[in-house]
Amino acid sequence: MYDGCTATAEAMMMAVSNAKKRNKVLISETVSPFITRVVLTYAKFHGIDVDFIEQENGVTSRADFEAKVGADDVAGVIVASPNFFGILEDYTGWADFCHEHKTLFIMNCPASALSVIKTPAEWGADIAVGDGQSLGIPMNFGGPYVGYLCTSKKLIRKMPGRIVGATTDADGKRAFVLTLQAREQHIRREKATSNICSNQSLMALFVTVYMSLMGKQGLREVNEISYSNAHYLADQLVKTGKFELEYPDKPFLNEFVVKSSLNIDDLLSWLNQAYAAGVPIDDDKLLMCATETVSKEDIDDLIEAINQFIEEGEEDNNNE
C-alpha cells in the first residue's frame, strides 16, 4: 500500500464489501487523526458511513464499542496499537465480540513495533494494516513510503490490488503469475477494488533489505532501545517539575503524552525546532517520542535546553 493511512482506508472498504448489506464502519477516537482524515476522505467518495467509538482516559471505550457493534449494523471496527497517545490498549475479547455480530476487526499497527508487542493475529483481528516506514525507509521529505495490509485467507479475494502466486511454466520451471485478481482491474477501472501503483515494489525492497540485515533479534533490540529512550525521556521531563504524564497508569512503547504547566508555544519557540520537542495536541499537552535514532546524550541536551527555558522564565518573573 502507499502508506499506513491508505492501507487503513482500503481495509475499511474491504469490510464493507464483505458485509454487503452493511455500510457503517466504526473507528476509535484513539486512532491517529492523520489516519482518520484519510479514512473519512475515502468513505465520503465511496458512500460509507463512518462513526466514532469514544475514548476514555486515553483508551477506546469498551462500553461504547459494545453498544455500537451490538446494533448489528456495523461492517468493521478500526482500532490502533499503539494508539495515537502511544498507549498499548488491551483488546482482549474484542475480536470475539465483533465476530458474534458479524463485524470485522481491523487493527492499525506500526510495522517495527510488531516485533515486541502483541500482534493483530494474536488479538484475533481479521485485517492488519499499518505503516512500514519504520522498516528502513528514509523520511525523504515526506515520501514515498509504504503501507502493509494482511488478512485471513477467507478475505483474500477482497484485498485491493493484485496477488502474485508461484507456479511452473510449460517447461516445468518456477514462475510467478498474477492471480486472484478481478477482471475489472483491466477492463472496467471504475469497478476495480483498488489501483495501487508498482512504485510500492521499490519501497518493499527497502523493507526487505532492512529486515534481512536486522533479523528477528535486531528488530527486537531496536524496539528495546526505543522503549528505554522513551521512558528515560519521560522520567527526565517529570524531574523538571514542569511536566507530568497525562496517562501515568497506561503502558507505552516509545510515544507518550505529557501535560505541562509551561506555555507550550513559548517553549517550542525557545527550542527553535532544534530538538525533537514533541507535537502539541492541546494547549498544555505534548505528544513526545523517542526511538533508536536518538541517544541518551540527545535527550540530556533537550532536557538541559528545557531547564534553561524554565530558569529564564523564573528570572523574568523575579525581575517583574
Strands 174-179 and 163-168: antiparallel
pLDDT at 116: 95
CATH architecture of the domain with range 4-159? 3-Layer(aba) Sandwich (3.40)
pLDDT at 194: 57
Tell me the fold of 216-319: Aspartate Aminotransferase, domain 1 (3.90.1150)
Q: Domain residue spans in the chain?
A: 4-159, 216-319
pLDDT at 275: 60
Euclidean distance between CA atoms 249 and 256, whole angstroms = 12
Predicted TM-score of the model (pTM): 0.89
Residues 6+ apart with CB under 8 A from 220: 115, 116
122-136 confidence digits (pLDDT tens): 999 999 999 999 998
Euclidean distance between CA atoms 203 and 316, whole angstroms = 51
Give the residue ranges of the chain where pLDDT is below 50: 184
pLDDT at 20: 84
235-273 confidence digits (pLDDT tens): 999 999 999 999 999 999 999 999 999 999 889 888 876
Euclidean distance between CA atoms 39 and 225, whole angstroms = 32
Euclidean distance between CA atoms 128 and 39, whole angstroms = 15
pLDDT at 196: 59
pLDDT at 277: 73
**Grid cell listed for 258:** 505529557
pLDDT at 314: 67
pLDDT at 98: 97
